[in-house]
Amino acid sequence: MSKNSIGERAGSGGGGTDAVTYPPGDTLLAMHRRFGPLMRLGVGRRGFVYLMGPEANAFVFANASLFQTREAFEVLVPVSGERSLLLSDGDVHRRRRRLVAPALHHRQIDGYLEIMANQADAALDGWRPGSRVDVYQDFRAAIRRTTIESLFGSRLAADADFFGNRLQSLLRLVDDLPTMLALRRSLGTPRWRGAMADRAMVDERIHAEIARVRSGAVDGDDNVLVNLVTARDEDGDALSDIEIRDQMVSLIVAGYETTSGVFGWAVHAMLSNPGVWERAAAEVRDVCGDRAPTREDLRRLPYLTGVMNETLRLWPPAVISARKIVQDFEYAGRRIPAGPMMIFSPYVTHRLPELWTDPLSFRPQRWDPQDPDYRKPGPHEFLPFGGGAHRCLGSTMATTVLTVMLARLLSRTTLRALPGKPKAVSFAAMRPKDGIPVEVLTSR
């Protein structure tokens, strides 16, 4: 495909001037430039402490005992449940993490590559030249089916649309501010009641699967669910049914809600920056031909890996992350008392010019060790999946899904972006508000 075939589109055609921004995140970035790494807003326990930038991130990750996540992520309780790993701290968090981690080991994920490619192909099979499709929505569904089938087997995957429809009403609650969520709950508004009814149906389906596995009626692709049911820590403790339910829902939601947003931004970036789509597609053709990528192939796609990392840099799944301050501490020469909420921001860190050359430009080559300007960022400088004790367990799963599905998209299609610039929404999982509409030029 020629450069002109995707070059006639709205926007400036790439670089920093075409980078989609998110106004709340840009406000935090401006605050960091003016006030430095430490800012305080509000008074007492209802106040906020903002720790911004790489040194602040390193401090937060190294001093987990100063903070708690439970209160900070209260908004996620209607979706993930009270006993989710996401809302756990201290010894409870370490126990649950040890029991869940084997399900997401990289050797397990290698076995999911065929599922990832098949689900991508199933989405692409319905595309025709000349048609207009929403890449974000189509692949959001494909990533949801992939997540459920890979982790919990084909029985639950058959109900992927059921889970998507029911979980969506819960995810809409997460988009509310905590005060609005509390008001909906206390008043029992129609949105709250509808979401709780949907949650009850999700829970019924999941508990039925847990009971089936506990009874010994195990299918060949139940491996992760079996692991959650049978896992024991060094003290012989196992996860309860409610804990298993909460981990399952958390894995399903995190597996597709955040990953699909990143996928949509990646497609937008490749179509908005001249030459990026062509270079990525040529690399995929050279390495994979027409077939789906293998694990070895994934190691031989440095430019596509750069596309993925650059997307995660500019559009990290979480604009901010939060912790409750539970111990007094000192930072940047100031005493911070316990009580307020602490906010740090991957979005701000990923757009700092002191860390990233031309930070608003989409430059996949900056991630290639062979590039003369390459610099490997530290874990406190590049943190799309958080860091420290609470770093996302599903990060390898997410990056593998992204690479495999982007490879299939590049191998099988050429696309043109439709006029308009996507708008980023949501703090919890930054996504394109109205999707990523494109015209299909060719489809194989």
User: DSSP letter string over 306-371?
Assistant: HHHHHHHHHS-S-S-EEEEE-S-EEETTEEE-SSSEEEE-HHHHTT-TTTSSSTTS--GGGG-TTS
Compute CA 315 distance to the chain's CA centroid, rounded to the nearest angstrom.
10
pLDDT for residue 256: 92
pLDDT for residue 221: 64
pLDDT for residue 236: 79
pLDDT for residue 1: 37
pLDDT for residue 16: 42
pLDDT for residue 377: 96
- Residue pair 238/230 in contact (Cβ under 8 Å)? The answer is yes
Q: What does the alpha-carbon distance between residue 274 and residue 143 come to, in Å, rounded to a whole number? A: 27
Cβ-based burial of 270 (10 A; exposed 0-12, middle 13-18, buried ≥19):
buried
Give residue limits of the domains in the chain.
4-152+244-443
pLDDT for residue 7: 32
Q: Which residues of the chain have pLDDT under 50?
A: 1-17
Query: 330: part of which helix (H) or strand (E)?
Result: strand 329-331
pLDDT for residue 366: 96
- Its pTM stands at 0.92
Question: Is 392 marked as a binding-site residue?
Answer: yes
Fold classification of 4-152+244-443 (topology level): Cytochrome p450 (1.10.630)
